[in-house]
Structure 1
């Protein structure tokens, strides 16, 4: 099934070479982290490959796969639509109903409180895969090899800072997830 998913993603993103490189970078990074942490590599691989499947679909195409509640909930944060749509399309295309896989895709943008290790690995890998060019990538990966929760918190902090740099306001969900992981990590050195 992994090879079929790779083919489908490659076909979908063939005109977006950098995004395709990113997706395969997330895939490779996520599988490495899964091995290190004893997490199901197949589930991680599937989620990594599909996490940005809908990235270049129009908002109209993305919301076709969403229920009205989700559309309304994220109307001020349409960046989330591609994640929700990608999860729905994976479920439709490959009949995958595994909540860990689908949630890893749905929550890869800014995370959520109490993520599973699969969700954490996809969230972290999206930030630190080798094609990313910001200064903390290597440090995030090294941190993730030792402690997924610390790496999640750091990625969330960077994400919130990035939103502010774009002169936007992070969502309450984003703040809530960050606060959760700050609490989880309090007292760690």
Structure 2
């Protein structure tokens, strides 16, 4: 199954070398974090490899792979569509019904409140994998090794700050998730 998933990702992203390097980086970083946190390495690999498979699909193609409820929920934020389309593709093409894997893919863009450990791992790995080229990637990874919730909170803030710097408003869901993880990390430090 893993070989078939990897083959599908390579076929789909073969024209996008940087994105292919990125998904490998996410998968490898996710596996490293999964080992540290005693999470399933297989689930981490699958989620990391598949998270951006629909990234270059047209908006119409992404929407064709989504239920109407998802389209309506994120109509103002179509940037999230590729994540939902990717999860649905994995479920339908590969018959993977593990909600932890599917949610890790669905919510990798800006996270959500009360994420599972796998969701947190994929969310953080998407930000800190070494091919991403962010100046703070290594620092985020080190933070994640020590405290995954702190790394989640940091990545959420960075994402919100990035949107605001471009004159864009973060979604209400994104702000609520950030507030949730601020409270979680404050509670851990007490």
Shorter-chain-normalised TM-score: which range? over 0.9
Q: Tell me by how many angstroms 1:100 deviates.
A: 0.1
Q: Tell me by how many angstroms 1:78 deviates.
A: 0.1
Match of 1:143 in 2: 143
The count of corresponding residues between Structure 1 and Structure 2 is 189
**TM-score of the aligned structures, taking structure 1 as reference length:** 0.98
Q: Tell me by how many angstroms 1:67 deviates.
A: 1.4
Q: Tell me by how many angstroms 1:2 deviates.
A: 1.2
Match of 1:43 in 2: 43
Q: Residues 61-80 of structure 1: matches in 2 within 5 Å?
A: 61-80=61-80
Q: Residues 174-189 of structure 1: matches in 2 within 5 Å?
A: 174-187=174-187, 188=189
Match of 1:171 in 2: 171
Which ranges of structure 2 fall in alignment gaps of 5 or more residues?
Answer: none
Match of 1:21 in 2: 21
Structure 1 position 83 matched with structure 2 position 83: yes
Q: Tell me by how many angstroms 1:77 deviates.
A: 0.2
Match of 2:97 in 1: 97
Q: Tell me by how many angstroms 1:28 deviates.
A: 0.5
Instruction: Give me the whole-angstrom Cα distance separating, in 1, the residues matched to 2:8 and 2:132.
Output: 23
**Segments ≥4 residues shifted beyond 3 Å:** none
SS, match of residue 24 in structure 2: helix
Match of 1:106 in 2: 106
1:55-93, Cα deviation, whole Å (9 max, x unpaired): 000000000011112111111100010000000000011
Match of 2:134 in 1: 134
1:135-157, Cα deviation, whole Å (9 max, x unpaired): 21110000101111000000000
Instruction: Give me the whole-angstrom Cα distance separating, in 2, the residues matched to 1:121 and 1:65.
Output: 25
Which ranges of structure 1 fall in alignment gaps of 5 or more residues?
Answer: none
Instruction: Give me the whole-angstrom Cα distance separating, in 2, the residues matched to 1:42 and 1:6.
Output: 12
Instruction: Give me the whole-angstrom Cα distance separating, in 2, the residues matched to 1:134 and 1:23.
Output: 15
**TM-score of the aligned structures, taking structure 2 as reference length:** 0.97
Higher helix share: 2
Match of 1:30 in 2: 30
Match of 2:4 in 1: 4
Instruction: Give me the whole-angstrom Cα distance separating, in 1, the residues matched to 2:75 and 2:127.
Output: 24
